[in-house]
Structure 1
């Protein structure tokens, strides 16, 4: 039965969500190994959570910080705030280090730790509804909503510098971005396993796309359970996919895989196609949502074929004069659509990343002859390793903190077919032990930055190539390494 939704929810996340709930109340919104949450049950959870939030003093304009690893709780809190006109931000180390967002309330779920600095309210069993009301009753009982243009969620991104920056999405922007993904999230057909961490920016993008298009989220990383739950789409960064699947070949193959955050190599695509019928290599950013995608599959001869996926808006490769370049010419990537942000939070000065409605991503790329976008790397000091962005300047600083190392330059291994790893050139001081300095540098990076940001190799050099501004010239470092490798016959 279809229920009429009044104009109180025009063009809002709340209206769309209630429309879905009214039209398919018994359809599963979440499937996990403990059971199923229907759309009607999810609506009741949102109302119950909303009531508890109101008791805490949350109102329109309030900012609520949430720390959780639980996907249903992450979604329910966001939807409850959408009905209230309040705003969500993820409570994490980035939030603790910024002044851009100042939460009024802090929530957490039982499986995560709180903080000594702030008081967290814990979401527990008492937040559950005492009765399950019909969706029509929920619709009738909610007050008028007029905050579709209000901020709904604060998200952070590395931007184009590697330094965390916050931006805000309005209720309408969340809705538009979600509906723009309706081809991937087909009503009542798509069952998605989201490998991105609950509460992260990529998670919210896909979870809201699933629910606002009437699909099902399979809340599990267990591939055996994926088969039982009928998963049709898996999404994640390459390192997350490898972390959950490893070297296994999944048989029978799942229908679709979306890989985001990195440019896949041909060998990686071939390997993934052993477990998935279609593999989409998606390109996008928090500032713009998904902007481009290549979809790979095997043809009848078992050769890999590629077609361009559908994305809203425009994507261009331009020169320094902002003119689109022809195929084969390297340039900068810029994106424009109807739901891009236009600035970062708290940044009143002009930002070169945003100009005339375009977002300049900081990536370099080239259009191939067959109209594919081939990403070549970052313009700046951010290095993308399998979807993880590493600040090369920070790695340099840690290496240079070692006694005996006067200068360092970190860059991505440029050798064809090389792993996603870092290489570091180091300039050593006089009368130092090379092996000892290298071991200390590796230890410091592992201790302070983790394995992902620790260079695989440290190469002593006499001097580092520098730009006109006397900054490390990372592309020149990569060229030097390639030239040396060719001399030695290593490539």
Structure 2
């Protein structure tokens, strides 16, 4: 395999991580899905072959963006790394994307070349010719990632520049419209280095990805970290809690990367575990991100499955910001942990002045994996930065041990007649009701007034009157904090990471039951 990297230099692209791993550990297992595996040597060959094939399929003028319908499979992993090696702009997409969703991405990014299973692509792009859609080409992921045949590869393929715009990663859209955050290849590598350093990941580890690799958390905490540490990455394909438990046990996984929803489902499924040992007896570390980790979920998983779950705080835009570390007594750290290596934070008041020690302020950060802008959203990009610092939108405080505690999101506070209501405080009270399984709180403008009313949507565990919930709130909250209306719903809309889509809840929540006013 030809070498394009000086072995004395620190890797700056995912391909350089792959190449280094293939040189140092060629026969070690790199990726596993079920009974199928790729060694690091095989992975390097497949990635380079996919990069060459993709280059021959795309227009010579280099126009357009590659959209990968990204599944947690060997083929999906090779396709992602191959596109990055080819140096083409790439956006990872949900594998179950709809045609209207793809058209929205097309409007954002321009010509879109799609990689996926060809039958699926042709179903999605019904008006397309056999191999084209909206000016872009369709590429079958199986053909792209198949082993090389006996024909020789082209003599060379230029190495991708590590700092060029390479990855357009859509935000979750949990608090508004999803936007494509622009990242470089170096961002991915830097993020993986932070995780590997923070949690002492080594080649002896086996990382189970119980989270979609298409999202920032999975791509960096699982895939890039495994490549950086030359550890084995274990994939589930389609997620089920039973598969997660069986794989944790059967493959002796040592690290799990998941979401609160994945841990919750796995813990519930583990209640019927038939083995003599717990499914996670070899697991030394469980990382959770994508949404806040409810204490009861963490406790249930620890009871039935493995060690304490450690929360990771970060974002698509900034990468990992803070991380909990395992404590000597085996519990999780307080808050969302301490800022990780290379991260700088500021807590400021409304006048951009530092808040006093222990005070609450708007959280601004600088990280090694910072995005550069939102593609096609200059206004939002400008608002996202303040003198080079990323404005997270979160309110936070630091305790005496330097641990970060999130208080809420500044833009989600409800202005009730000039009094500010933190939705998280109201949600905590709602969730304390034994009949409420889930809750979301938001502000709704009052027509003709410069004020808002507090609204809530709850998922009841059993039939429950909104009057009973309101009475529960009145006993525990100030008058202006009590929801003016409460809607009982069967479920709450979520992203693929399990995060509640708050903007969608506010837009679609039914009007309150007039026969049972809150």
When the two structures are superposed, what TM-score results if normalisation uses the length of structure 2? 0.69
User: Residues 318 and 415 (structure 1 numbering): CA distance in 2 closer, same or farther, change over 3 Å?
Assistant: same
User: Residues 70 and 6 (structure 1 numbering): CA distance in 2 closer, same or farther, change over 3 Å?
Assistant: closer
Q: Distance in 2 between matches of 1:303 and 1:203?
A: 23
Partner of 1:406: none
Instruction: Summarize deviations over 1:290-328 as a string: whole Å, max 9, x none.
Output: 0001234462xx777657474431123321122332344
Q: Distance in 2 between matches of 1:229 and 1:160?
A: 34
Partner of 2:20: 19
**Contact kept in structure 2, 1:368 and 1:374, CA below 8 Å:** yes
**Contact kept in structure 1, 2:431 and 2:438, CA below 8 Å:** no
Instruction: Summarize deviations over 1:168-204 as a string: whole Å, max 9, x none.
Output: 1112222222222222362312211112124233322
Q: What displacement does 1:360 show?
A: 1.1
How is 1:126-137 mapped onto 2 (pairs within 5 angstroms)?
A: 127-131=145-149
**Contact kept in structure 2, 1:277 and 1:298, CA below 8 Å:** no
**Contact kept in structure 2, 1:410 and 1:424, CA below 8 Å:** yes
Q: What displacement does 1:125 show?
A: 5.0
User: Residues 305 and 284 (structure 1 numbering): CA distance in 2 closer, same or farther, change over 3 Å?
Assistant: closer
Instruction: Summarize deviations over 1:135-157 as a string: whole Å, max 9, x none.
Output: xx99x954342522222211011
User: Residues 415 and 105 (structure 1 numbering): CA distance in 2 closer, same or farther, change over 3 Å?
Assistant: same
**Contact kept in structure 2, 1:278 and 1:297, CA below 8 Å:** no
Partner of 1:107: 115
Partner of 1:240: 262
Q: Aligned to 1:295, which of 325, 328, 351?
A: 325
Partner of 2:171: 157
Partner of 2:33: 32
User: Residues 185 and 125 (structure 1 numbering): CA distance in 2 closer, same or farther, change over 3 Å?
Assistant: farther
How is 1:402-441 mapped onto 2 (pairs within 5 angstroms)?
A: 413-415=427-429, 418=432, 419-422=437-440
Q: What displacement does 1:27 show?
A: 0.7
**Contact kept in structure 2, 1:293 and 1:308, CA below 8 Å:** yes
Structure 1 stretch displaced more, 4-13 or 194-203: 4-13
Structure 1 stretch displaced more, 323-332 or 90-99: 90-99
Q: What displacement does 1:95 show?
A: 4.8
How is 1:163-182 mapped onto 2 (pairs within 5 angstroms)?
A: 163-182=177-196
* 1:367 partnered with 2:381: no
Structure 1 stretch displaced more, 123-132 or 163-172: 123-132
SS at match of 1:246: helix
User: Residues 338 and 214 (structure 1 numbering): CA distance in 2 closer, same or farther, change over 3 Å?
Assistant: same
Instruction: Summarize deviations over 1:23-79 as a string: whole Å, max 9, x none.
Output: 111111112222221111111211222232123125656421111324322321222
Instruction: Summarize deviations over 1:339-391 as a string: whole Å, max 9, x none.
Output: 312421123336222111211111112223443222122222499xxxxxxxx
* 1:116 partnered with 2:126: yes
Partner of 1:263: 292
Q: Distance in 2 between matches of 1:314 and 1:197?
A: 28
* 1:226 partnered with 2:248: yes
How is 1:137-216 mapped onto 2 (pairs within 5 angstroms)?
A: 142-145=156-159, 147-158=161-172, 162-183=176-197, 184=199, 186-206=201-221, 207-216=223-232
User: Residues 37 and 110 (structure 1 numbering): CA distance in 2 closer, same or farther, change over 3 Å?
Assistant: farther
Q: Distance in 2 between matches of 1:142 and 1:245?
A: 49
Partner of 1:353: 384
**Contact kept in structure 1, 2:67 and 2:92, CA below 8 Å:** yes
Q: What displacement does 1:211 show?
A: 1.6
* 1:96 partnered with 2:103: yes
Partner of 2:240: none
Partner of 1:64: 66
SS at match of 2:196: coil
**Contact kept in structure 1, 2:169 and 2:180, CA below 8 Å:** yes
Q: Distance in 2 between matches of 1:303 and 1:85?
A: 43
User: Residues 304 and 258 (structure 1 numbering): CA distance in 2 closer, same or farther, change over 3 Å?
Assistant: closer
Q: What displacement does 1:247 show?
A: 5.2
**Contact kept in structure 2, 1:365 and 1:377, CA below 8 Å:** yes
Q: Distance in 1 between matches of 2:354 and 2:298?
A: 29
Q: Distance in 1 between matches of 2:338 and 2:150?
A: 44
User: Residues 154 and 225 (structure 1 numbering): CA distance in 2 closer, same or farther, change over 3 Å?
Assistant: same
Q: Aligned to 1:77, which of 76, 79, 82?
A: 79
User: Residues 38 and 304 (structure 1 numbering): CA distance in 2 closer, same or farther, change over 3 Å?
Assistant: closer
Q: What displacement does 1:219 show?
A: 1.0
Instruction: Summarize deviations over 1:399-427 as a string: whole Å, max 9, x none.
Output: xxxxxxxxxx9986230753542258999
Instruction: Give the aligned CA root-mean-square deviation in angstroms.
Output: 4.2
Structure 1 stretch displaced more, 19-28 or 97-106: 97-106
Q: What displacement does 1:459 show?
A: 6.8
Q: Distance in 2 between matches of 1:334 and 1:427?
A: 28
Which structure 2 residue ranges, 5 or more long, are not aligned? 237-242, 272-277, 415-421, 447-454, 470-476, 487-518
Q: Distance in 2 between matches of 1:23 and 1:241?
A: 34
Q: Distance in 1 between matches of 2:77 and 2:119?
A: 16
Q: Distance in 1 between matches of 2:270 and 2:480?
A: 33
SS at match of 1:421: strand
Structure 1 stretch displaced more, 412-421 or 344-353: 412-421
SS at match of 1:106: strand
**Contact kept in structure 2, 1:65 and 1:103, CA below 8 Å:** no
Q: Distance in 1 between matches of 2:224 and 2:410?
A: 31
SS at match of 2:54: helix
